[in-house]
Amino acid sequence: MNGDKIPYVSVLRLGHRRDRDKRITSHLGLTARAFGADEIHLAGEEDPSALETWKSVTKRFGGDFKCFYEKKPLRFLRNFSKNSGDGKPGTIIHLTMYGETWKDELPNIDLSRPMVVVVGGTKVPGEVYRLASHNISVGNQPHSEVAALAIFLESLIGDIEEEKHFSGGEIKVIPNGKRKQVITFEEE
Ligand SMILES: C[S@@+](CC[C@H](N)C(=O)[O-])C[C@H]1O[C@@H](n2cnc3c(N)ncnc32)[C@H](O)[C@@H]1O
């Protein structure tokens, strides 16, 4: 971790299209989980297969990553901007190539509040820019929501204590430069 206390981090994936975005949305959730987010909300077309993939990876590789389908993402953001669970506003980070440079904006983020990190797929509604506490770019070139999220979370959260963060799984990977090495835990 980066020394500061990191808030509860949710990722909101807007505008999912079941056919076109299947793989990238799946990878987005896996990236959110691997880089330390606590949960993901999928918006756009309903897609149980994405949620099943994330649940299955969490069951096998451990941790407490949660996933949801969010039918009304703008309403979700409006509510979160006023009340993030304790009656006080949460922090909304919108990742967009048009935003402020992430390295400059990171120190201005209130880490004491729960956070939603929003990424788009299709065109992002203008209201998201207005609701966001911070509109943040990872470079001002168009690239990928997966890359933007990974870099942002790594900058925000830093190293993850994998042993602790991903405890309770069925499989543990042992880092090895020569060969694939895993431990499989037997069920009691
Ligand atoms: C790939 S882009 C837009 C895709 C395009 N509208 C389409 O579907 O053809 C999807 C998301 O990636 C993220 N993204 C892309 N480039 C970014 C950048 N330079 N900085 C921050 N986020 C970025 C944003 O969240 C954006 O909404």
Inside any domain, residue 176: no
Atom of ligand 1 nearest to the CA of 20: 8
Nearest CA to ligand 1 atom 25: 119
Torsion-angle region of residue 77: left (phi > 0), alpha (psi -120 to 50) or beta?
alpha
pLDDT the model gives residue 5:
77
**pLDDT tens for residues 134-184?**
999 999 999 999 999 999 999 999 999 988 999 999 999 999 999 999 999
Return the SS3 of 80.
helix
Inside any domain, residue 170: no
Structure confidence at residue 1 as a pLDDT band (50, 70, 90):
very low
Inside any domain, residue 4: no
**pLDDT tens for residues 32-44?**
999 999 999 999 9
Which residue from 143, 146, 156 has its CB within 8 A of the most atoms of ligand 1, so it is best to mutate? Answer: 143
Whether pLDDT at 2 is above 60 = no
Inside any domain, residue 183: no
Which residue from 106, 145, 151, 154 has its CB within 8 A of the most atoms of ligand 1, so it is best to mutate? Answer: 145
Centre of ligand 1 to C-alpha 147, Å, is: 9
Centre of ligand 1 to C-alpha 99, Å, is: 11
The partner residues of 151 in beta bridges, in order of sequence, read none
Whether pLDDT at 4 is above 60 = no
Inside any domain, residue 179: no
Q: What is the dihedral of CA 26, 27, 29, 32, to 10 degrees?
A: 180
pLDDT the model gives residue 137:
98
| Structural domain containing residue 23 | 9-163
Where does ligand 1 bind, in terms of residues with CB under 6 Å? 95-97, 119-124, 137-139, 141-145, 148
Q: What is the CA radius of gyration of the chain?
A: 17
Inside any domain, residue 130: yes
pLDDT the model gives residue 3:
46
Q: What CATH number is given to the structural domain containing 29? A: 3.40.1280.10
Inside any domain, residue 172: no
Inside any domain, residue 77: yes
Whether pLDDT at 54 is above 70 = yes
Number of domains observed in the structure of the chain:
1
Centre of ligand 1 to C-alpha 142, Å, is: 6
